[in-house]
Amino acid sequence: MLAAERQRRILDLARREGTVRTTELARSFEVTEETIRRDLDLLGRRGHLKRTHGGAMDSAAVLAEPPHSQRQLRQLDEKVAIAREAVKFLTGGETVLLDASSTALQIASELPPDLPLRVVTYSLAVVERLATHESIELIQLGGLYDARGRRFSGLLTEAAIRALRIDRFFFSGGGLDPERGISEPNPDQARLKQLMLKHSTWNCALMDHTKLGVQTDFFFASLDGLDAIVMDREGRTFAKSHLKNVSCVLRFSR
């Protein structure tokens, strides 16, 4: 296969899936990982892809947030593993705030059935996931509904969060930059999460490897202001190289 044809197929795959991984591409095209890295670097220089740790993502996905249905399916195995590690922080009787990210939705799925918690969220998907959970006291934050993200936001959401005590806040973002922190492609979500970070006693970011080294448009969280970051296994290399000096706890899924 000619290099140009392989690069076209890589770009088609990135646009369809949102992200591509170097190891998987090398195996699929039966070439070395170094060959794939050169392909990704070329596509990155041309503006078609955004290079990430261990692969690349569709450059359009950096500028526009995909709908919830698409986000929920991307890196699903990694998100489930991250969620299983994150729930180990929880103890009974706490008030836990979950954002509207697809990774936080997996936390809702992994909550132990006998652990009594109060869960606060502005995600309709989280409410649906926990609606029949007998040990959960569930609080839905209202506001202006965003059908694309299946979530609420705005002044009413912000007023509601100020009226509650939050012990732990679990959230994700569009990208994690070692110097500038965690960012969102949506300005309203960035502002809302910034408020929630200030209002919560303890904060934890949930980041799969495709978001490491990525910058989206609106930064809302510095790494030094976090209590913990949970990543998947492939995040270890990035953390060793770029997060050696952060003060928060780093956890990795198995």
Kindly report the CATH number assigned to the domain that includes residue 42: 1.10.10.10
Domain match, 202 and 111 both? yes
Domain match, 92 and 214 both? yes
Please determine, for residue 113, whether its predicted confidence score (pLDDT) is greater than 80.
Answer: yes
pLDDT reported for residue 12:
86
pLDDT reported for residue 2:
81
Q: Identify the domain boundary among 29, 45, 63.
A: 63
Please determine, for residue 61, whether its predicted confidence score (pLDDT) is greater than 60.
Answer: no
Please determine, for residue 8, whether its predicted confidence score (pLDDT) is greater than 90.
Answer: no
Q: What is the residue range of 21's domain?
A: 3-63
Cα dist from 55 to 44, 52, 103, 174, 222, whole Å:
11, 5, 20, 16, 24
Domain match, 55 and 101 both? no
> Pick the residue with more confidence: 60 or 31?
31
Q: Identify the domain boundary among 31, 63, 95.
A: 63
> Pick the residue with more confidence: 182 or 65?
182
Domain match, 35 and 75 both? no
The mean pLDDT value for 210-224 works out to 92
Residues 81, 229, 110, 113, CA torsion sign: positive
Please determine, for residue 29, whether its predicted confidence score (pLDDT) is greater than 80.
Answer: yes
Q: Model-level pTM?
A: 0.75
CA-wise closest residue to 189 among 143, 125, 135, 129: 143
pLDDT reported for residue 161:
95
Domain match, 8 and 107 both? no
Domain match, 148 and 210 both? yes
Domain match, 112 and 206 both? yes
pLDDT digit string (tens) for 183-216? Answer: 998 889 999 999 999 999 999 999 999 899 988 8
Helix (H) or strand (E) holding 186: none
Band (182; pLDDT cuts 50, 70, 90): very high
- The three-state secondary structure class of 227 is coil
CA-wise closest residue to 58 among 69, 44, 75: 44
Please determine, for residue 229, whether its predicted confidence score (pLDDT) is greater than 60.
Answer: yes
Band (59; pLDDT cuts 50, 70, 90): low
Band (148; pLDDT cuts 50, 70, 90): confident
Number of domain units in the chain: 2
- The pLDDT mean for the chain works out to 90
- The DSSP output letter for 54 is T
pLDDT reported for residue 167:
98
Domain match, 25 and 82 both? no
Q: Identify the domain boundary among 15, 39, 63.
A: 63
CATH code of the domain containing 95: 3.40.50.1360
The mean pLDDT value for 2-25 works out to 86
Number of H helices, E strands in the chain: 11, 15
Domain match, 203 and 246 both? yes
Domain match, 58 and 103 both? no
Domain match, 16 and 87 both? no
- pLDDT exceeding 70 applies to what percent of the chain? 94
pLDDT reported for residue 52:
78
Identity of the amino acid at 175: G
Please determine, for residue 243, whether its predicted confidence score (pLDDT) is greater than 60.
Answer: yes
What residues does 206 pair with on adjacent strands?
230
Identify the weakest region by mean pLDDT among 58-62, 65-69, 74-78, 136-140.
65-69
Domain match, 111 and 46 both? no
pLDDT reported for residue 185:
87
The mean pLDDT value for 55-63 works out to 67
What residues does 20 pair with on adjacent strands?
56
